[in-house]
Amino acid sequence: MADTELDQMSEEERRMMAEWEAMADSAEDTPQPVMDEVPAVSGSASGSMDSDGGGGTRILNQAEIDSLLGFDGDGHQEEASGVMALINAALVNYERLPMLDVVFDRLVRLMTTSLRNLTSDNVEVSLDQISTVRFGDYLNSIPLPAMLSVFKAEEWDNNGLMVVDSSLIYSVVDVLLGGRKGTPSIRVEGRPYTTIETKLVERMLNVALHDMSTAFDPLSPVSFKLDNIETNPRFAAITQAGNACVLVRMRIDMGDRGGRIEILIPYATLEPIRELLLQMFMGEKFGRDSIWETHLTNELYMTDVYLQAVMGEKTVMLRDMLNWKKGTLVLFNTKPSDEVELRCGDFPMFAGPMGQKEGNIAVRIERYIPPEKE
């Protein structure tokens, strides 16, 4: 039966069966590599191909590995390239608030003056970056030790976070306690901050919060009050980990000393003034020009306005009016005791009784006529 079936097979089928049997035999005799022609990631500085021709493995050099993982030449991870770019691509792009740039630019100028008065030193405050982060990711990225101060926006009924790094803490302590200029501050790591250090940094934080309140005043009056200071990020959880926040990074330099201060404000805190922050104003005074307003007000007060006293109105047919001649008598229904309406153009403005004064007809204004609503 089997011989009969083999006889009936075509020549093409016999050839294909022979090829399958040859492939099975070669697979049993010769072991195949598990990963063939797969790029191998290695820290080797060599970027050449293996000497065996054809399907050799590709070895990446160190520069290619760093570029793939998103590291720059100094070993710092960049968020805009490599694997980090793929991770951050999944984040939600929150709306940009243009007025925040104006507010924090004003805050930089105010803090520069205030900290100079506080420390009696040459202080320079600069704005590094305004970005959007998730609260949980930011807490995990804070370099410790640091001071995390929780402040409350009383009018907005919500909280924010102000983080002072270790370098700035010791610099402020050194300056306020009379440290010698030109010498870097001594950093003592591995211990909690003392009460004196906390109180001195608290003075600087109160100055910064007062300046931030002043910076927001032209936009919306708000008072920022220091609530508490923590050194453990777990105790500074002011919102949920997945909520979006505005992160403002600033650099404070005091000669050879200095450090960073970061302000974190959740979007929920800024929600009451969201419409104001979306506006596109130019200039320090947020679009208001008091000089032009005063000039325009004074000029309006000196403007001549012509009023018309309407003693009576009557509607007549056009054919009747065409028949009017000199001496035609037109009767109105207005009585001497009725009020006379004063109009500016077509808009009624005032009303009052009519009388005579020094031989002239006069109207005494007794009532203001509000404009009609459309």
The whole-number pLDDT of residue 53 equals: 46
**Three-class DSSP labels, 117-142:** HHHCCCEEEEEEEEEEEEHHHHHHHC
- pTM, full prediction: 0.53
Q: Which of 235, 256, 277 delimits the end of a domain?
A: 277
**What 3-state DSSP class applies to 154?**
coil
**What 3-state DSSP class applies to 93?**
coil
CA distances in angstroms from 342 to 310, 339, 351, 357, 363, listed in the order given: 6, 10, 6, 17, 9
Tell me the one-letter amino acid at 335.
K
What would the pLDDT profile of 103-120 be if each residue is shown by its tens digit?
A: 899 999 999 999 888 888
Q: Please tell me the total count of domains within the chain.
A: 2
Mean residue pLDDT of the chain comes to: 78
CATH of the domain at 314: 2.30.330.10
Residue 15 lies in a domain: no
Find the angle CA(109)-CA(290)-CA(153) to the nearest 5 degrees.
50
Distance of CA 142 to the CA centre of its chain: 20
Instruction: For residue 49, give the DSSP letter.
Output: B
Q: Which of 262, 277, 292 delimits the end of a domain?
A: 277
Residue 47 lies in a domain: no
Lookup: tokens for 3: 């011989």
Residue 36 lies in a domain: no
Residue holding tokens 């009052």?
352
Residue 295 lies in a domain: no
Considering the domain architecture, whether residues 216 and 335 belong to the same structural domain is answered as: no
Residue 59 · residue 42 · CB < 8 Å: yes
Residue 164 · residue 173 · CB < 8 Å: no
Considering the domain architecture, whether residues 149 and 260 belong to the same structural domain is answered as: yes
The answer to which of 50-64, 252-266, 352-366 has the lowest mean pLDDT is 50-64
CATH of the domain at 184: 3.40.1550.10
Considering the domain architecture, whether residues 195 and 245 belong to the same structural domain is answered as: yes
Residue 33, C-beta contacts closer than 8 angstroms, at least 6 positions apart: none
The whole-number pLDDT of residue 78 equals: 53
Considering the domain architecture, whether residues 143 and 224 belong to the same structural domain is answered as: yes
Considering the domain architecture, whether residues 221 and 315 belong to the same structural domain is answered as: no
Residue 319 lies in a domain: yes
Instruction: At 321, give phi and psi (nearest 5°).
Output: -70, -30
The confidence band for 47, taking pLDDT boundaries of 50, 70 and 90, is very low
Residue 285 · residue 294 · CB < 8 Å: no
Q: Which of 79, 179, 159, 171 is nearest to 125 (CA)?
A: 171
Residue 26, C-beta contacts closer than 8 angstroms, at least 6 positions apart: none
The whole-number pLDDT of residue 85 equals: 61
Measured distance CA(112)–CA(4) in Å, rounded: 101
Residue 147 lies in a domain: yes
Indicate whether 210 pLDDT > 90.
Answer: yes
Considering the domain architecture, whether residues 204 and 266 belong to the same structural domain is answered as: yes
**What 3-state DSSP class applies to 228?**
strand
Considering the domain architecture, whether residues 223 and 342 belong to the same structural domain is answered as: no
221: left (phi over 0), alpha (psi -120 to 50) or beta: beta
Identify the domain containing residue 353 by its residue range. 308-368
Considering the domain architecture, whether residues 117 and 205 belong to the same structural domain is answered as: yes
Residue 255 lies in a domain: yes
Residue 308 · residue 342 · CB < 8 Å: yes
The whole-number pLDDT of residue 38 equals: 41
The answer to which of 27-36, 50-59, 90-99, 196-205 has the lowest mean pLDDT is 27-36
Residue 150 · residue 270 · CB < 8 Å: no
Find the angle CA(341)-CA(343)-CA(345) to the nearest 5 degrees.
155
**What 3-state DSSP class applies to 263?**
strand
Considering the domain architecture, whether residues 160 and 200 belong to the same structural domain is answered as: yes
Measured distance CA(168)–CA(164) in Å, rounded: 7
The whole-number pLDDT of residue 262 equals: 92
Q: How many C-beta neighbours within 10 Å does residue 66 have?
A: 18
Give the rounded percent of residues in the chain with a pLDDT score beyond 90: 11
Considering the domain architecture, whether residues 224 and 104 belong to the same structural domain is answered as: yes
Element containing residue 68 per DSSP (H, E): helix 62-69
The answer to which of 181-190, 258-267, 292-301, 318-327 has the lowest mean pLDDT is 181-190
**What 3-state DSSP class applies to 46?**
coil
Lookup: tokens for 17: 């069966």
What would the pLDDT profile of 154-169 be if each residue is shown by its tens digit?
A: 888 889 999 998 888 8
Find the angle CA(325)-CA(326)-CA(331) to the nearest 5 degrees.
80
Measured distance CA(211)–CA(228) in Å, rounded: 18
Considering the domain architecture, whether residues 261 and 312 belong to the same structural domain is answered as: no
Measured distance CA(61)–CA(46) in Å, rounded: 6
Residue 148 · residue 230 · CB < 8 Å: yes
Lookup: tokens for 103: 């507010």
**What's the whole-number mean pLDDT along residues 348-363?**
87
Q: Which of 277, 296, 326 delimits the end of a domain?
A: 277
Considering the domain architecture, whether residues 104 and 249 belong to the same structural domain is answered as: yes
CA distances in angstroms from 190 to 22, 125, 145, 151, listed in the order given: 71, 28, 8, 26
Residue 108 lies in a domain: yes
